[in-house]
Amino acid sequence: MTTLSPTHPVRRRPPRRAYSAIPGETPGTSPWRALKSLILLICVVLVLLPFLAIISTSLADTAQVTKAGGYVLWPDNPGFSAYSALLSGGLVAKAMFVSVGITVVGTALSLLSSISLAYGLSRPGSFGHKPILMLLLMSLLFVPGVIPSYLMVKQLGLINSYWSLILPTMINAFNVIVLRSFFMGIPKELIDSARIDGASELSILTRIVLPLSKASVAVIGLFYAVTYWNAFFNALLYINDAAKWPMQMVLRTYVVNNAALSGGQVDVAAGAPLPPAQSLQAAILVLSIVPIVIVYPFLQRHMNKGVMVGAVKG
């Protein structure tokens, strides 16, 4: 009985190289890797430390904040007095509801209008293409001042209406230009073939263009959402009834209060003191960033792709 030797060559493992997790990174020696890890660890700590300080301060009691004379790194007796001071009376809770509503409705309308406009402007020869593009670019160059904007909103009868927080900022020219440049990069042949198959412009937009543009749309959506969430100035100008204020505006009164106390103008009767200013401010920061922190992980994948759009397109 003969033993057949294998006809195929034996695969040999390449010699083991130092492991590198980052593509393109040159392998290094152990001490060097340890040093790099240490540097990275320090960077991570430096990034996380302010977050920890803010969360800890928001939970710290008056005695500890007073003793520390500012921010604390770890609360000795954690409590929620700053959060209950902010959320008592239902005003912040209502303002949060208003903010969420404005952000959701505003972002949806902004995306709808920006996508429609950007798609129209990305198709050469569309109706009024050049004048509309010119008008759009003009809005980047000439920003209306506060008073003209106020007069416009007033003429439209939107004072004290939630629409005044959405309509004036519904279309951001920069975002439209970014979307337009992405749409223009979609191969013309794809759109032509869809058209030959009898697809309408709306079908082309919804079935061809948008599925290919998820990353850009996600990024622009996030930009709009963050803008609506953080906006307070329009509420300051257009909303006279404090009960209709969005959260950023209500929270601002706590921040302004702290700054203004040094003027000695507050004529408040004695009673239960508010939690320390730092705790309130820290709690305000936490409350303000929570929704964005919740939403961001779901969009991160698209965000990473989307932010490259502007980087590689001319």
- Which residues contribute to the site for another protein (CB under 8 A)? 62-63, 65-67, 69-70, 85, 88-91, 130-131, 134, 138, 141-142, 144-148, 150-151, 154, 159, 236-237, 240-243, 245, 250, 252-254, 256-274, 276-278
| Residue 70: HSE in the Cβ half-sphere, 13 Å Cα cutoff | 2
The Cα 306–Cα 215 span in angstroms is: 5
* CB neighbourhood size of 293 (10 A): 11
Q: Where do we find the tokens 């629409």? A: 163
Contact 263, 149 (CB under 8 A): no
Toward another protein, which CB reaches closer, 119 or 254? 254
Contact 289, 202 (CB under 8 A): no
Toward another protein, which CB reaches closer, 36 or 154? 154
Minimum Å gap between C-beta 242 and another protein is 5
Toward another protein, which CB reaches closer, 10 or 259? 259
Toward another protein, which CB reaches closer, 129 or 195? 129
Minimum Å gap between C-beta 30 and another protein is 43
Minimum Å gap between C-beta 211 and another protein is 33
Minimum Å gap between C-beta 160 and another protein is 9
Structure tokens at 206: 């919804």
Toward another protein, which CB reaches closer, 149 or 213? 149
Toward another protein, which CB reaches closer, 14 or 69? 69
Alpha carbon distances (Å) from 191 to 2, 178, 210? 65, 20, 12
Toward another protein, which CB reaches closer, 111 or 280? 280
Contact 116, 204 (CB under 8 A): no
Cβ-in-10-Å burial (0-12, 13-18, 19+) of 267 comes to exposed
Structure tokens at 117: 């406009």
Minimum Å gap between C-beta 89 and another protein is 4
DSSP output for 2-29: PPPPPSSPPPPPPPP----SSTTPPP--
Minimum Å gap between C-beta 146 and another protein is 6
Minimum Å gap between C-beta 68 and another protein is 8
